[in-house]
Structures are given as C-alpha cells and as structure tokens.
Structure 1
C-alpha cells in the first residue's frame, strides 16, 4: 500500500439522482468497483453521497440497499441544488483543504481508474479537474457516435465541462460559492466562477465516464438536449 501525498485525506463522491431506478444499479456497481480499485492502492478515505432529488420511483430504496452509501434528500428540486446539497453534506465537519469533491451522475458509469485519476490530480497541484464523458454506444446510432467523437475529441484542455466527471478541492469549492441552484448548466457556471477566481484548473482525457445517451433527460437543458439537438 502506498502512502498518500500530503493534503487530500477524503474523496467525497456526489451523485444527484432523480428517477434513475433503471440506471442507478449500474452507476452504483461502477462506483463500487472504482472504490475497490482505489482503496487497494491508497489510504485516502472515500465517501459516497446519493442526493435524492424528489424521485417517485425506487431510486432512494436502491441506493439505501447498498453498503457504504449515504442517502440524503435535496430540499429544492433541481440538479444544481442537489449537487450543492451533496457537497455541503460532505464538507460538514470535514477539512475543506483536505477534501476532494468528485461529481458524477446517476445515469453514468465511472471507469475503475476514475478515483485514482482524480486523486492523482488533487495531490499533484490541481484544484479543479475537468474530465470527459462518453455517451453509451447502445443509446446512439453509429452516425451519432461518429458525430459525437468528431465534436468532442480527447483533450487534456479543460474545455468540455460535465457534472458527470468533475472534481474540485473543498476549500476552492467554498470560495467559488459552490453549485448554483440552476436546473441545468450548474457545472459550467461553477467552472466559470472558478476560472474567474484564478483556480488551478486541469483537464484530462483519462478515465472518461460512460453516460446515458438518452434524448429525454432529467435536466431540461442537460446532456439529453445536446444529444437530441446536436447529434440528431
């Protein structure tokens, strides 16, 4: 077992969930696999917070049935408020300078190395990590998938911002004002605020997160709208 670089002692994973009973088991399985992979190599503690954003299906029950999962309810409907509630829950009683908030979604599946990639960035000077996503090929036609890849090539520049693959150190998050109470683009708004305050933002093409390519999503102007309007 290696000893962690000085600084980050906790990675907190925040997952907002709204009626994701069909896809949430896949998301939880993927996070569990990533935790297992990471914890074999690191002494850093990991917490997973599922934020139920008013689900009317079995999402909350599914989350509560899993070990080592903290389930809270968002007081205000909307993905921005849900992510903010999860971050606040993680940071309560924690040391913000030693906490890394890793954000993903209930319709997504992180790869096994996801936590290791975030941790490596956090302990090597990054204050923010902007990761990439990959739509589930099962949800797209071959033409749509080709168009996605032409519009979103792998890059180490922090240009494609997705709440499904975003990390930020706790103290930097708090200084930025955190996730806004927006129904969509809360991830973009946060990174814009972080850029404005001069945060050290790093992009990565490692560990892209598999994300649903559905055309009817939970956020009105979220990724589903992009799939519907930009990929045809």
Structure 2
C-alpha cells in the first residue's frame, strides 16, 4: 500500500518530510524504506510521567492523593506499563470511585505489566478497556455501543449524537432528555472512552472521535450483545445472528 501511495510524492531534494504514525513495525519499516535511522520508536512514560498523568486525572494534582491510597495507586500505575491510554482510562474510571477497596479490586483485575509492554495493542490493553467497559452503568454502555455506527477516524458532532441517542430512546431519565444525553456524552469523555476534538470558548466538547482500540472493543461487545452489527463491503461479513438491529 505504501509503495502505491509514495508514487504520488515527488522524489527531489527539497527536504520535505512526511511523518507516519503506526503501531505496526512492518508498516514503519516500509514507510522509511527499511532504514532504521528514519524510525523513531516511542518509549512508554517513565514513573514520574505516569504518576503525574494518573494523579492529575484522579485528584487534579500529584499532591492530592490521600495517604491510604498511595500504595494501591503506585501498584495500579505500575500495572499500566507506562501506556498513556491505559493510565488515562483507568484514572478516569477511578476518579468516580474513591473507595480504597474498589481500587484494590481493580488493581487485582489488571493484567501484568509484561503483557502490556510486549505490545501496545496486546491483549493486556484490551483487558484494561474491557474492565473499564464492564464498570460502566447500563445506560452508558448503550450509548457507547451506538458509536459503532461511525467509521474509524470519523469526527462526531456532540449535538448530532445527542439527538440520535434521544431518537433511539436510549435516554429515559430526566425531563429534558437532550440535557441528560449531553451529560452522558460528557461522562464518556471524562472516562477517556471518547476523545475530544473541538471545544468552544467555555471548554465544552463540541466534536469527538474514538481511539481505534476502543472502537475494536465496542465492535466486539456490540457483536457479542447482539446490539448493532456494522457490515462493510470492505471486510469479511461475520456470521449474523437471527436478530440484529
């Protein structure tokens, strides 16, 4: 694929540069013409950086951690293996669970650090996202699964999504269902499951996108729970159950 794309670029000495980001080493090698000097492999966050991201996400600052949470916090950070997505997602989930016993339960359910560092797209990271998904309330699970309707890399309008959730009758709480749906959207953003793209002057998220690892998770969950099956002409059609949306 890269051989085809690269033919569109001029081969001259104007010192232009194209930066390609990928998690697949073979793709990086192909894009750099198999010259390792043109490859830059990102390292995981170190201990201080991981602690700053995690504590900032949960307590607002590094100094906000209560003494009785320090040990379990250190152990959770260690298990995240320095991966930003894992750290931010776990921190967002635990920010609403300020209970030491609950934190220990989450710590014990996390995969080992070695399985995470082997590959950023390994089963370990999928396990972390699965834990976060399983800790969502039913209404948030439903709203999150609906995002399988959007292709990878698509920018999604908050207002469009809110109206679709209401039209699908996913929102049953509150007198103002659109206001409730906006609250659900903001909660999914705060939990790190959808990523902000555009904000207004009040710092309100207007559009979002979905990390491909989260999209993989909700695709699998949607299929597993017979919620929505998104069939594309560019992929192998899965075995369809008797009833699908």
Question: TM tier, shorter chain?
Answer: under 0.3
Structure number with bigger Rg: 2
- Higher strand fraction (1 or 2): 1
- Higher helix fraction (1 or 2): 2
Bigger relative contact order, structure 1 or 2 (CA pairs below 8 A, ≥6 apart): 1
